[in-house]
Homo-oligomer: A and B are copies of this chain.
């Protein structure tokens, strides 16, 4: 039986762009891209011929490689680049490429240069995809926040009903987390750095080559810059073979994205419970249904967001352990542990952003259920307000009022009536008292906060648009 994975056990990202952007196939293609770009940069600098570059380009197609074979050779040198390079050279020979192509190939580079850079290319694509879907998620949440600025609902703490709020502010709170994560991801994307240092981070071999090739007018500095530019990566100030901070910043930002979406999904899961019923995922043909139980509509996308939120923290911890124990000029196992963990984090982020975007842009808001739940606790939900406003008017002050609240709850008695009896009408009219029972009058700064977050979103959105 062959040994391939397709995402069958990775529901959180299977079927999304993560699969094609970050598969082994995509990663090997990225390694090939780095090698080909490097020969191209050399050719442009006159360090090898255009034919060499052309020949290497010919072997830089993943289709030409047997990835099962490649994987099986990976443990020989503890990384995949070493056997890949061998295979590339075999193909060059097979293609009757000039020997100089083989010499120019991988010139002065080390396997860590290629692997780290290829991972950065995979990350660049998955980060971009994540950003796009995260921004679309923000659009959806902003729409919800705006649309529901006046939608009263119950706010809960520690699972219990507490006070009224607006559904708009709830959506704006999700939005605020998404915006924070989106900003962190953008900052982190500046860490998408080329790795270029040669065997031990000195570029000794390349510099020797340039020195011998006295005609060369190009410095190793310039060559690195051109390679970074060609690959669309940051030009690093220096190799970072054992300085794994770029990996940590990127990993942390991806983890933050997943967490921001996880908390959104967690709230939708709660609100989708039949007893709560405030929210439901958009029904889509073939999604979330149960054939045996047609009444059942699973909140699949929220489940997947939670799946991602549970899976990412452990992966992130692997990156930090690896970074904090890196030794010498190349780590002795930590580096190797980064690869899968980092890619899986990126995949989860792509998957989460994809599902989050759908969820945010198609959420059904059940106003009836929201109203019903708000009313569930009766007038007691405003007890904080009543106690605070009426304390001066009721003998015994706050404690007396709180006792009335409890009495009302236990005896199912009207809190209005109980309070009415205690407060002379000359002190407070019926209307004024009744007004205190209106949850719409006790929303505090909910709308101001919503507006603030929406303004932040708008400013951010303008920036995104200006980037395109």
A35 sits at the interface (CB 8 A)? no
Pair A74/B273 contact, Cβ less than 8 Å: no
Once bound together, how far apart are the Cα atoms of A194 and B184, in whole Å?
19
Q: Which of A245, A262, A309 has the most chain B CB within a 10 Å cutoff?
A: A245
Pair B249/A263 contact, Cβ less than 8 Å: no
Q: Which secondary structure dominates where chain A touches chain B?
A: helix
A339 sits at the interface (CB 8 A)? yes
Once bound together, how far apart are the Cα atoms of A204 and B252, in whole Å?
35
Pair B11/A74 contact, Cβ less than 8 Å: yes
Pair B303/A161 contact, Cβ less than 8 Å: no
A47 sits at the interface (CB 8 A)? no
- For A302, the chain B residues whose CB sits under 8 A away are 332-333
A187 sits at the interface (CB 8 A)? yes
- What number of A residues sit within 8 Å (CB to CB) of B? 190
Once bound together, how far apart are the Cα atoms of A298 and B158, in whole Å?
6
Copies in the complex: 4
Interface residues of A in 377-416 (CB under 8 A from B): 377, 380-381, 383-385, 387-389, 402, 405-406, 409
CB distance from A254 to the nearest CB of B (A): 10
- For A298, the chain B residues whose CB sits under 8 A away are 77-78, 157-160
Pair B328/A80 contact, Cβ less than 8 Å: no
Write the chain B residue with the least CB distance to A13.
Answer: B75
A189 sits at the interface (CB 8 A)? no
CB distance from A437 to the nearest CB of B (A): 13
Pair A75/B14 contact, Cβ less than 8 Å: yes
Which of these, B209, B260, B381, contacts A245 with CB under 8 Å?
B260
Interface residues of A in 7-22 (CB under 8 A from B): 7-12, 14-16, 19-20
Question: A80-B11, A274-B377, A316-B320 given as contacts; is B311 within 8 A of A340 (CB)?
Answer: yes
- For A293, the chain B residues whose CB sits under 8 A away are 162-163, 199, 380, 383-384
Q: List 9 A-B contacts (CB under 8 A).
A: A9-B24, A11-B75, A156-B273, A173-B243, A177-B242, A205-B388, A244-B263, A263-B327, A305-B333
